[in-house]
Amino acid sequence: MGKTWFEWAWSHKGAILGTACGLLFGFVYLAVGLWKTLVFAAIVFLGYYIGKKQDNREDLRDVLARILPEKFTR
């Protein structure tokens, strides 16, 4: 027989997630414009970066010290 819908979706999860993200950013671009969309994407990436570091058990203060200027981390 063939694959079920779930098996097919699971084997193509990257393409499905990429398409969903593309649609989301496309709608955001249409709604608010290019620069606001780029700022939004940068904030989302920063959140992902900090979350990934937390998953790897890195200290949040060390991560923020690398990202932010020194005057913010005293």
Amino acid at 52: K
Find, among 10, 23, 21, the residue nearest to 44 by Cα.
21
Q: 11-41: per-residue pLDDT in tens? A: 888 888 888 888 888 888 889 998 888 888 8
- List the domain boundaries for the chain: 1-32, 33-74
**What is each CA distance from 57 to 49, 52, 53, 60, 61, in whole angstroms?**
13, 9, 6, 9, 12
Q: 35-65: per-residue pLDDT in tens? A: 888 888 888 888 787 777 777 777 777 777 7
**pTM here?**
0.52
Q: If you ran DSSP here, which 8-state letter would residue 70 be given?
A: G
